[in-house]
Amino acid sequence: MLELEKRLSWVYLVNLVFYIAPFFYINYNLIQYFWMTLALAAFIGCYYWIGRSHTTEMLLPIVLMALIASAITPLNYGSISMFAYVSFFIGFAYSFRQFLAGVVVLLAVLALLDHLFVKGTPYFLLYGSALVCAIGVLGVLDRIRRLTMLKEQRSAEEIKQLATMVERERIARDLHDIMGHSLSGIVLKADLADKLVQQQQYQAASQQLQELAFIARESLSQVRQTVSGYKHKGLAGEVQSLSSKLREAGFAVEVQGEVPVLSAREETAVVLILTELVTNVLKHSNGDEVQIRFSETEHGNQLMVSDNGKVSELDQGNGLAGIQERLAALNSTLEWQLSPSSFSFTLPKES
């Protein structure tokens, strides 16, 4: 849902029609057209900048949007539509109290611009103030809606993880019961057959071996039935499991970013690589803090495992050769640094 909204973000730019309309009914000179077009391009750039930013990183582009709108107002009073975008993003990115403070500042800016430049045009301040307040409230509501969606998504993921853990426990119990009984029978038949062979009772020994083979086949069938339908818990589940192991070993663990959605082939490789990296931390790190970070770059999905341990040299025998081979199959390479140690790789985007 959120990805769809990002792809359709350009639709919301239609509200800039109030800014573009004066281009066609007011006689500007070429220099004025140039500055207004430049301001529009810079504003749209900030708009998409915000679209790619986390809420904690939106302050700078929001301020730049407000400055662009203020600077172009003396030429184009349609800049009130730009202030509406600024109000929306303030409501979306910040708490309600901060939103109210931001709206007060915007209204003060509108009043100042109206007093200095927009003389004889009463609709600018009145209409602009109403637009800023109304669109800002929409931003607040959108923020609440998205927070609710994320909370529901987390709840669904937690339920899914819990169901997976319950299923794994069921399989473990079933395997224990099945294999405990079957292996006891296999050991008994094997010992009996050995004694019969020693006593040269080959026909009886052959009978015992046939029964042993039957028990083994039945056990294999029961094991297959037990694990049928079992699904791998996936990268998110592995991250949770490995984080628990690290914490049990005394490490403070921080997981940053969203776990990416990968193909089955990539996910299997990443699970194995991540397991190996965490195993190396457990075996060799002298630190006490570990960070697992997922991020999306222009080149692809990046994963980094770092800790605050200090290492003077790197032993290539610590499973790194296997990691490099798996990454080579995915057109990627492992990068690392020492003291503090960190290992990272990027899975390239599909062309």
Whether residue 143 sits in one domain with residue 13:
yes
200, 227, 254 - which closes a domain: 227
Assign 153 to helix, strand or coil: helix
pLDDT at 39: 96
Nearest to 294 by CA among 283, 306, 286, 284: 306
* Burial class (CB within 10 angstroms; exposed 0-12, middle 13-18, buried 19+) of 347: buried
pLDDT at 11: 66
Residue 341: CB atoms within 10 A of its CB come to 21
208, 227, 246 - which closes a domain: 227
Q: What is the CATH number of the domain that holds 212?
A: 1.20.5
In what helix (H) or strand (E) does residue 30 lie, and over which residues does it extend? helix 30-51
* Burial class (CB within 10 angstroms; exposed 0-12, middle 13-18, buried 19+) of 30: exposed
pTM value surpassing 0.75: no
pLDDT at 155: 76
Nearest to 280 by CA among 254, 242, 230: 242
The single residue listed with the structure tokens 């589940």 is 237
Whether residue 185 sits in one domain with residue 127:
no
The single residue listed with the structure tokens 């997976």 is 164
Nearest to 13 by CA among 57, 36, 45: 45
Whether residue 11 sits in one domain with residue 139:
yes
pLDDT at 204: 84
Whether residue 84 sits in one domain with residue 52:
yes
pLDDT at 305: 93
pLDDT at 229: 45
Average pLDDT of each block of 10 consecutive residues along the chain (351 residues)?
52 85 91 95 93 88 95 93 94 92 95 86 85 92 86 77 70 60 72 86 85 76 58 75 84 90 84 85 83 90 89 66 84 85 86 42
Contact assessment for residue 15 and residue 84, using Cβ atoms and an 8 Å cutoff = yes
Residue 283: CB atoms within 10 A of its CB come to 10
Q: What is the CATH number of the domain that holds 253?
A: 3.30.565.10
Dist CA 44 CA 55 (whole Å): 18
Whether residue 172 sits in one domain with residue 105:
no
Domain count, the chain: 3
Whether residue 290 sits in one domain with residue 193:
no
- 24 residue type, one letter: F
pLDDT at 317: 60
Contact assessment for residue 86 and residue 106, using Cβ atoms and an 8 Å cutoff = yes
Backbone CA torsion sign across 163, 169, 174, 175: positive
pLDDT at 4: 40
Whether residue 15 sits in one domain with residue 135:
yes
Residue 166: CB atoms within 10 A of its CB come to 10
Dist CA 32 CA 344 (whole Å): 49
Whether residue 330 sits in one domain with residue 300:
yes
Range of the domain at 115: 2-152
Q: What are phi and psi of 307, to 5 degrees?
A: -145, 165
**Phi and psi based region of residue 66 (left: phi greater than 0; alpha: psi -120 to 50; beta: remaining):** alpha
Report the chain's terminal Cα–Cα distance, integer Å: 23
Whether residue 116 sits in one domain with residue 15:
yes
Whether residue 276 sits in one domain with residue 192:
no
Rounded to 5°, the CA angle 232-235-239 comes to 115
Whether residue 317 sits in one domain with residue 278:
yes
Whether residue 136 sits in one domain with residue 45:
yes
Contact assessment for residue 43 and residue 71, using Cβ atoms and an 8 Å cutoff = no
152, 185, 204 - which closes a domain: 152
The CA-based diameter of the chain, rounded to the nearest angstrom, is: 118
Task: Show the tokens assigned to 256.
Answer: 């940053």
